Amino acid sequence: MDAYSQMIIDAVAQVKNAVVKIDVYKTVQGKLRPAGSGSGFIFSSDGMIFTNNHVVNGAEKIMVSLLNENEIEATLIGKDPDTDLAILKIYSEGYSVSKLGNAEALQIGQLVIAIGNPLGYQHTVTTGVVSALGRTLRSQNGMLVDNVIQSDAALNPGNSGGPMITTDGEVVGVNTAIIQGAQGLSFSVGINTAKEVASQLIKNGKVFKAYLGFQLQEVSINSKVKHHYHLANEKGLFVVNVEENSPASRSQVKAGDIIISFNNKPVQTLHQLFKELTRKEILTMIDISVIRHAELLNVGIFPIQRQSL
């Protein structure tokens, strides 16, 4: 067998027993009926499962099917519509635990593998490459999800919530969305962000995240600008768009600026910004440094608490 195929087979073998099919049920005309399905993966030895919020939202009963065809009712631990993530828990045996990797180490062009249950076809494997990193995606509830991985691995309805893995068999993303009408555009929430969300959901049952209203993209900083201002940053956050009636719209930051510092700390990745926004002390006037047309500007912004839906 060729080396490429063997590499994918070996990677899938490490994760496949941790990938699950999720079926949800809702009451229709007085009876509990099937209301959709999706994917998920077990990430802890005590049966914690990552999936998407939109897969389980509104479900009255959630059933999880393992690769060995065992079907177990799951408990919803918590969900976060803003990142489209949810955590389930099962009490069972006969599964393995996926190994969580580091999405920050991904590179554009790197081979990735998606595993899920598209259209009910259990444990379907697709491959692709990382097309872009550090993207902001608008989720199904209209909120902006930061630190999204874009790939061309084929995703279909039912893939939602499944793992995106590397050829080492490590999970680097939670598959979350496809763009309707487009081909080769699939998105996954980076596993570093997912781990932060999981920590809060397991501990508190909900996620605190301050809201800014920027649509951002990680970009490299021009070397001349970097040296001129003696910046520690290699990268910054390019402001693609500013949401109306948001803290961002009330600040002096404009589309086209590159954010290089937030709360007096250098910021190079969306994950670094996400971590800052999960601290409750952040709800005060915060200093931001931006580069605008090679000029360094210092401005203020007042993050607000995002209201849960």
Boundary (domain end) residue, out of 203, 219, 251: 203
Q: Which residue has 């408990």 as its token pair?
A: 75
**Domain match, 123 and 49 both:** yes
**Domain match, 197 and 215 both:** no
Query: CA 263: distance to chain centroid?
Result: 23
**Domain match, 192 and 214 both:** no
Strand partners, 49: 42, 88
Give every CB contact of residue 230 below 8 A, 6+ residues apart in sequence: none
Domain extent, residue 244, equals 210-305
**Domain match, 244 and 293 both:** yes
How many structural domains comprise the chain?
Answer: 2
Give every CB contact of residue 123 below 8 A, 6+ residues apart in sequence: 16, 19, 67, 115, 116, 117
**Domain match, 154 and 287 both:** no
The catalytic site residues sit at: 54, 84, 160
Boundary (domain end) residue, out of 203, 227, 252: 203
**Domain match, 126 and 186 both:** yes
**Domain match, 214 and 197 both:** no
**Domain match, 281 and 241 both:** yes
Indicate which CATH number applies to the domain containing 225.
Answer: 2.30.42.10
Boundary (domain end) residue, out of 183, 203, 223: 203
**Domain match, 14 and 125 both:** yes
**Domain match, 177 and 217 both:** no
Q: The pTM is what?
A: 0.84
**Domain match, 296 and 247 both:** yes
Contact 106, 128 (CB under 8 A): no
pLDDT tens digit at each of 309 positions of the chain: 798 899 999 999 999 899 999 999 999 888 999 888 899 999 999 999 999 998 999 999 999 998 777 889 999 999 998 888 999 999 988 789 999 999 989 999 999 999 988 656 667 899 999 998 887 776 655 666 777 899 988 887 778 899 999 999 999 999 986 665 556 678 899 999 999 999 999 998 888 889 899 988 889 998 888 899 888 889 999 999 999 999 999 999 999 999 999 999 999 988 889 889 988 889 999 999 999 988 999 999 999 987 654
Indicate which CATH number applies to the domain containing 106.
Answer: 2.40.10.120
**Domain match, 229 and 117 both:** no
